[in-house]
Amino acid sequence: MAVASDRTGLWVLHPIHGVLLASTIPLFLGALLSDYAYTSSYEIQWSNFASWLIFGGLVFGGIALVLSIIRLIKSPQRSGLSFIYPFLLLLTWIFGFINSLIHAKDAWATMPEGIIFSIIVVLLACASTWIGFAKFGVGGIR
Amino acid sequence: MKKRFLSLHQDIFKVIAGIALSALLGGCVDQDPDPEEYGPSPTLPKPQRGLLPNMTIAEPTPWKDQLPTVPSGFTVAAIATDLKVPRQTLVLPNGDILIAEGKGGHAPALKPKDIIAGYIKAKGTTPVKGGNRLTLLRDADGDGTYELQTVFAENLDAPYGLALVGNNLYVANQDSLVRFDYREGQTQASSPPTKITDLPSEINHHWTKSLAASADGRFLYVGIGSNSNITERGMVAEANRAMIWEIDAETGAHRPYATGLRNPTALTIQPNTGTLWAVVNERDEIGPNLVPDYLTSVQEGGFYGWPYSYWGQNVDERVRPQDPQKVASAIAPDYALGSHVAALGVDFSESSMGEEFADGVFVGQHGSWNRKNPVGYKVVFIPFRDGRPAGAPIDFVTGFRDENGKTRGRPVGVTVDPKGALIVADDLANVIWRVARSTNE
């Protein structure tokens, strides 16, 4: 499932893990852009799009979260970095979940909390993905 | 746009802190002390909603040998069973009873929430498929037992509102108003119905089309519910919704008679005055004690607030764009029945119901979902004086929930039988209850 990285001595991410992790950015970013479109047009369909994009982010991000925890448990050597990564992902998922509940409200009741949380979740998703890719890298499969 | 975002920014910490707090405390902070919220000027708390709406869906349980509770001097009996989702009833001149059976609506799920909420709410309703038909009951010997139960007409589309004018039997389907030729004594319609007019039926989030005929029979009034709780299906979906149409019975020509009525689920004409009255279900998800469902006389041309405001000029912040002009013109209804009670039936009483219940209206309350402590699930009597509601609602039929909080039945339509009885449709147990005076014994 994972191979020791030459750079850090930590395991690199499996490509599927990497894809799931990276997908949280476009999904949560799409939700944020949809929220923006809703606030500027009051066109309800954007709010529906945001709800589903958040849902998608939670599904993919949730699997990445589970993989990251398994990886942490199985890892032969643990540094601070190996804890930060699943922790950030967990934080992304929790805020994403709260955001999905906010988006389940009717019409403008989703605002302004909805767009504020969408911003936070995008930032958290970027941070998680950055750590995952920059610190561990992806590969190990041929 | 920029300004809006600046103010968003300022609120950011307040909002996050508030949400974290409400997420931590969950439902615990929510107290619904059941304030006496009925009457002409109810106290309206501030709107509130946590991360999850309050929901209590009472698990269905059969009546078995139990019966609803009725006032002393009355008896109650199931006069029809094994129906297919009975909603509204009509007592014909010869004493026969017609029952509209069906289940309508084809609103698609737009958000993940719609799928989850739909699944949860369905647990509190019957699994039986709507009959899309009219059933006729007959008690030929007048002993209170309706020995004949037969299908009067079928292949309708979620029929709901019923009205008889002379030989014309009008039925409001979820998509059209139709007319049957009716001759007294008929047990089966002699021919398929004639369409008078189409009714707005796209999406049909609130699908029930309530119906009443004007005193002179010239006009028909049809209540058309909104296509959403509070515009979450978009403003375009609300064209021709949340209003009462006045329809020319001859030509089918129609115009809005009153607007801004979120879901006018039952209509009736007041004897003597000829005034149109309605019970209306108000919006959900802004707290256990908002917004009161109501009983009101319907003013021609009146605007009753939905979606922009409730109970007169109380602005609903969930609606964008807002419309201050419409809000300014909104009229407050006559009488609050209580929030979330889900009034689905209304009928004026008459002297045959006995002195205590002679002057007033009966209201069937289907019962709440958007509340921790359920309300409704009963039939109440609102006493009238000088043609206006006067005084607190009196419980008339109760016992629809058992002592363990399970639901045996859910009242919908109520119809006064001139012989001195109230006919109550129960769409959970699929039963018709007849609450009759027992005075002559």
Q: DSSP readout, B77-96?
A: EEEE-S-SSEEEEEE-TTS-
Average pLDDT, chain B: 92
User: Do residues B172 and B209 touch, judged by C-beta distance below 8 A?
Assistant: yes
CA-wise closest residue to A93 among A71, A67, A124, A69:
A124
Q: Tell me, rounded to whole angstroms, the distance of Cα B284 from its chain centroid.
A: 14
Q: Test A107 with B231 for CB contact under 8 angstroms.
A: yes
pLDDT computed for residue B237 by the predictor: 96
Residue in A with minimal Cα distance to B18: A113
**Local confidence band at B5 (pLDDT 50, 70, 90 cut-offs):** very low
Q: Which residue has the higher pLDDT, A75 or B91?
A: B91
Q: Is B260 left (phi over 0), alpha (psi -120 to 50) or beta?
A: left
pLDDT computed for residue B30 by the predictor: 45
Q: Does A88 touch chain B (CB under 8 A)?
A: no
pLDDT computed for residue B152 by the predictor: 98
User: Do residues A72 and A97 touch, judged by C-beta distance below 8 A?
Assistant: no
Tokens encoding B255? 């115009």
What residues of A are in contact with residue B318 (Cβ under 8 Å)? 105-109
| R_g (Cα) of chain A, nearest Å | 16
**Is residue B12 over pLDDT 80?**
no
User: Do residues B438 and B90 touch, judged by C-beta distance below 8 A?
Assistant: no
User: Cis link prior to B307 (omega < 30° from 0)?
Assistant: yes
**Is residue B32 over pLDDT 80?**
no
pLDDT computed for residue A65 by the predictor: 97
Q: Test B112 with A39 for CB contact under 8 angstroms.
A: no
**Local confidence band at B10 (pLDDT 50, 70, 90 cut-offs):** very low
pLDDT computed for residue B25 by the predictor: 42
- Stretch A43-65: mean pLDDT: 97
**What is the dihedral sign for C-alpha A51, A54, A59, A60?**
positive
Q: Which residue has the higher pLDDT, A75 or A103?
A: A103
- Stretch B286-309: mean pLDDT: 97
What distance in Å separates the CA atoms of residue A87 and residue A92, rounded to the nearest whole number? 9
Residue in A with minimal Cα distance to B17: A113
Minimal CA separation from A113 to chain B, in Å: 7
User: Do residues B193 and B171 touch, judged by C-beta distance below 8 A?
Assistant: yes
**Is residue B389 over pLDDT 50?**
yes
What distance in Å separates the CA atoms of residue A126 and residue B237, rounded to the nearest whole number? 37
Q: How many other β-carbons are positioned within 10 Å of the β-carbon of residue B88?
A: 32
Q: Determine, yes or no, domain membership for B256.
A: yes
pLDDT computed for residue A139 by the predictor: 84
Q: Determine, yes or no, domain membership for B265.
A: yes
User: Do residues B421 and B73 touch, judged by C-beta distance below 8 A?
Assistant: no
Q: Which residue has the higher pLDDT, B148 or B440?
A: B148
pLDDT computed for residue B34 by the predictor: 60
Q: Test A104 with B113 for CB contact under 8 angstroms.
A: yes
Residue of B14, B25, B48, B51 to mutate for A, most A C-beta atoms under 10 A: B51
Q: Determine, yes or no, domain membership for B19.
A: no
Q: Tokens 């030729």 appear where?
A: B181
Q: Determine, yes or no, domain membership for B30.
A: no
Q: Determine, yes or no, domain membership for B46.
A: no
**Is residue B26 over pLDDT 50?**
no
Q: Convert the pLDDT of each residue in B109-142 to its tens digit.
A: 999 999 999 899 888 899 999 999 999 999 999 9
pLDDT computed for residue B54 by the predictor: 87
Helix, strand, coil % over all residues of chain A, rounded to 5: 75, 5, 20
Q: Convert the pLDDT of each residue in B68-116 to its tens digit.
A: 999 999 999 999 999 999 999 999 999 999 999 999 999 999 999 999 9
H or E stretch covering B21: helix B12-25
Q: Test A116 with B16 for CB contact under 8 angstroms.
A: yes
**Local confidence band at A136 (pLDDT 50, 70, 90 cut-offs):** confident
* Pick from A109, A113, A115: CB nearest B19: A113
What residues of B are in contact with residue A107 (Cβ under 8 Å)? 228, 230-232, 318-320
Q: Test B11 with A105 for CB contact under 8 angstroms.
A: no
CA-wise closest residue to B425 among B83, B6, B30, B131:
B83
Query: Which DSSP category does A4 fall into?
Result: B
pLDDT computed for residue B23 by the predictor: 46
What single string gives the DSSP state of each residue in B174-233? SSEEEEEE--TT-SS-SSPPEEEEE---SS-SS--EEEEE-TTSSEEEEEE--SSSSSTT
Q: Test B23 with A106 for CB contact under 8 angstroms.
A: no
What distance in Å separates the CA atoms of residue B8 and residue B164, rounded to the nearest whole number? 56
* Pick from B15, B49, B112: CB nearest A52: B112
Domain-by-domain residue ranges, chain A? Answer: 15-136
> Please, what is the angle between helix A113-130 and helix A80-103, to 10°?
160
- Stretch B17-33: mean pLDDT: 46
What distance in Å separates the CA atoms of residue B136 and residue B152, rounded to the nearest whole number? 6
| R_g (Cα) of chain B, nearest Å | 22
Query: Which DSSP category does B301 fall into?
Result: T
> The domain that contains B228 carries what CATH number?
2.120.10.30
3-state secondary structure of A49: helix
CA-wise closest residue to B44 among B262, B297, B290:
B290
Residue in B with minimal Cα distance to A107: B232
Q: Does A112 touch chain B (CB under 8 A)?
A: yes
CA-wise closest residue to B200 among B257, B154, B230, B244:
B244
Q: Which residue has the higher pLDDT, B28 or B427?
A: B427
pLDDT computed for residue B441 by the predictor: 45
Domain membership of residue B360 as a residue range: 53-437
3-state secondary structure of B332: coil
How many independent structural domains does chain B possess? 1
What's the CA angle centered on B7, arms B5 and B8, to 5 degrees?
A: 60
The complex scores an ipTM of 0.86
Interface of A with B in 26-65 (CB under 8 A): 39-40, 42-45, 47-48, 51-52, 55
**Is residue B22 over pLDDT 70?**
no
**Is residue A6 over pLDDT 70?**
no
What distance in Å separates the CA atoms of residue B184 and residue B115, rounded to the nearest whole number? 46
What residues of B are in contact with residue A106 (Cβ under 8 Å)? 228-232, 285, 318
How many beta-carbon pairs under 8 angstroms link A with B?
A: 72
What distance in Å separates the CA atoms of residue B128 and residue B223, rounded to the nearest whole number? 25
Return the minimum-mean-pLDDT range out of A71-75, B23-27, B399-403. Answer: B23-27
CA-wise closest residue to B347 among B365, B337, B361:
B361
